[in-house]
Amino acid sequence: MLRQKKTSALIIGSGLAGLSCALELARRGITVTVVSKSEDLYACNTAWAQGGIAYLDDTQSVGDSLELYAQDMIQSGDGMNHEPAVQQLTQLGNKLIKAEMIDQLKIPFDRDSRGILLKSKEGAHSRARVIHVGDATGKAIQTGLVKVATAHPNIEILSNYTAVDLLTTQHHCVGRTFTYSLDNVCCGAYLLDNTSGRVKTVPADYTLLATGGIGQLYLHSSNSPGSIGDGMVMAKRAGAAILFPHYIQFHPTALAKGRQRFLISEVVRGAGAQLLNGRGERFMKRYNPQQLELASRDELTRAIIQEMIANEEEFVYLDLSTHRQEEGPIEERFPTIFQECLKFGIDIRSQPIPVVPAAHYLCGGVKVDLNGRTTLERLFAAGEVACSGAHGANRLASTSLTECLTWGHQAAKTIADALERQEGLSDTIVNALRDWEDVGESVRLDRQRLAGDWSRMRTVMWNYVGIIRNPKLLEIASKDFRLLGESLAELYFNAAMSKDLVDLFHGIRACQLIVDSAKKDPVSVGCHYLSG
Ligand code: SIN
pLDDT score, position 491: 86
* Shortest-distance atom of ligand 1 to CA 397: 8
CB-neighbour burial class of residue 50 (10 A; exposed 0-12, middle 13-18, buried 19+): buried
- State what percent of residues in the chain have pLDDT above 90: 90
Task: List pLDDT tens digits, range 133-143.
Answer: 999 999 999 99
Number of neighbouring beta carbons within 10 Å of residue 308: 18
∠506-510-512 over CA atoms, to 5°?
120
Q: Check pocket membership of 398 for ligand 1, CB cut-off 6 A.
A: yes
Catalytic residue among 129, 261, 269, 297: 297
Q: What is the pTM of this model?
A: 0.96
Which residue lies with its CA nearest to atom 7 of ligand 1?
Answer: 397
pLDDT score, position 493: 83
Mean pLDDT of 445-464: 95
Task: List pLDDT tens digits, range 365-386.
Answer: 999 999 999 999 999 999 999 9
Pocket test for ligand 1, best of 223, 251, 261, 264 (most atoms within 8 A of CB): 251
User: d(Cα 102, Cα 98) in Å, to the nearest integer?
Assistant: 5
* Shortest-distance atom of ligand 1 to CA 264: 3
27 annotated active-site: no
Pocket test for ligand 1, best of 55, 120, 122 (most atoms within 8 A of CB): 122
The residues that bridge with 268 in the sheet, in sequence order, are: none
* Shortest-distance atom of ligand 1 to CA 401: 8
Identify the helix (H) or strand (E) that includes residue 202: strand 199-209
DSSP letters spanning 463-496: HHSSSSB-HHHHHHHHHHHHHHHHHHHHHHHHBP
Cα(162) to centroid of ligand 1, in Å? 27
Pocket test for ligand 1, best of 253, 255, 340, 398 (most atoms within 8 A of CB): 398
Task: List pLDDT tens digits, range 174-232.
Answer: 999 999 999 999 999 999 999 999 999 999 999 999 999 999 999 999 999 999 999 99
Q: 515, 236 in Cβ contact below 8 A?
A: no
Residue 440 has pLDDT above 70, yes or no: no
Residue type, 30: I
* Shortest-distance atom of ligand 1 to CA 400: 8
- Rounded to the nearest 10°, the torsion over CA 168, 210, 513, 182 is 20
Please compute Rg for the chain using Cα positions: 23
Cα(296) to centroid of ligand 1, in Å? 12
| pLDDT top residue among 440 and 392 | 392
- Whole-angstrom CA distances from 493 to 192, 437, 440, 445, 479 are 15, 11, 7, 12, 22
Q: Check pocket membership of 318 for ligand 1, CB cut-off 6 A.
A: no
**5 CB contacts (<8 Å, ≥6 apart)?**
none
Q: Check pocket membership of 51 for ligand 1, CB cut-off 6 A.
A: yes
Cα(360) to centroid of ligand 1, in Å? 9
* Shortest-distance atom of ligand 1 to CA 253: 3
**Which of 69-83, 144-158, 207-221, 486-500 shows the lowest per-residue confidence on average (mean pLDDT)?**
486-500
The per-residue pLDDT of the chain, averaged, comes to 95
Q: Check pocket membership of 223 for ligand 1, CB cut-off 6 A.
A: no
Q: 169, 47 in Cβ contact below 8 A?
A: no
∠495-497-499 over CA atoms, to 5°?
120
Give the per-residue SS3 of 204-232. EEEEEECCCCCHHHCCCECCCCCCCCHHH
Q: 89, 73 in Cβ contact below 8 A?
A: yes
Q: Check pocket membership of 400 for ligand 1, CB cut-off 6 A.
A: yes
pLDDT score, position 373: 98
Task: List pLDDT tens digits, range 233-275.
Answer: 999 999 999 999 999 999 999 999 987 789 999 999 999 999 9
The upper half-sphere exposure of residue 155, i.e. CA atoms within 13 Å in the direction of its Cβ, equals 27
Residue 1 has pLDDT above 70, yes or no: no
Residue 298 has pLDDT above 70, yes or no: yes
